[in-house]
Amino acid sequence: MIFDKLETQRNSKGTQVLALIDPDVKNDNIFPQIIDTVNKSNFDGLLVGGSRIVDDNFNKRLLFIKENTDLPIILFPGDSSQISDNAEAILFLSLLSGRNPKYLIEEQVISARRINDLNIEVIPTGYLLLKTEKKSAVELISNTTPLDMNNTNNVIDHCLAAQYMGNKLLFLECGSNSDSSVELSLLKQIKNKITIPLMVGGGIKNKEMALNLAEAGASYLVIGSLIEQTLDFNITLDINQSVRGLYVS
């Protein structure tokens, strides 16, 4: 089981870093380079998904990724159309920061039987969108309001609710290519209250940010835009190696 494997790895190797590939047409001309960069960067796993995939080639691109990497592939679906057994597991997301029933239960019901039929490992994940200066694609597409990071109690209440609902993972999302990530003092406070692993993504651009987030309590880091924008494995390899052996209990 992939999640158990990642958790075991986390216990032995420290903070895990996952690459994110957006299998959208916008990346078609650099797709092989993205995969090559990911493969050379010593990532621990690979998320595949996007909030807006404008054509029907999701599965074709996913298959291409699968054929060209040895990393475990976990779906990070923008909606119920992004489900395939060309991945080993799926983050079964509930957008708990929002109040839109489509992303709280409707997409989940639409996708449940297909996931069951395909026998994909399910990783129940509470997904919280946090407010940053730039409006994220998730905010626009989901038509939900992100949580204000200054309202610490409200964010922590959402985290606790996500944990009590039985989620195995809590994903703190600042949105793809955001200008900032989760505030470190907030992350530390969440870490003090929450026992399930914290995944942090959105706007991780350098080693300092990655290290700070890992030290503040992120069990998993997700890096997407930086890979697409630089296509330079030296940068991502450096980040990934910097958090190796970093344990935050």
> By the criterion CB under 6 A, which residues form the site for ligand 1GP?
20, 173, 176-178, 201-204, 222-226
Nearer to ligand 1GP, 52 or 117 (CB): 52
The least distance separating ligand 1GP from the CB of residue 227, rounded to whole angstroms, comes to: 8
The least distance separating ligand 1GP from the CB of residue 187, rounded to whole angstroms, comes to: 14
Say how many C-beta atoms besides its own lie within 10 A of residue 106's C-beta: 13
The least distance separating ligand 1GP from the CB of residue 116, rounded to whole angstroms, comes to: 25
CA 127, 132, 133: angle at the middle one, nearest 5?
Answer: 150
Nearer to ligand 1GP, 93 or 115 (CB): 93
Query: Pick from 79, 72, 8: which is nearest to 44 by CA?
Result: 72
The least distance separating ligand 1GP from the CB of residue 223, rounded to whole angstroms, comes to: 5
Q: Residue 75: beta bridge partners?
A: 48, 90
Q: Residue 129: beta bridge partners?
A: 173
Return the residue nearest ligand 1GP (CB atom).
201
For residues 153 and 159, give the distance between their C-alpha atoms in angstroms, rounded to a whole number.
10
Nearer to ligand 1GP, 179 or 249 (CB): 179
Nearer to ligand 1GP, 105 or 141 (CB): 141
With beta carbons less than 8 A apart as the criterion, state whether 79 and 43 touch. no
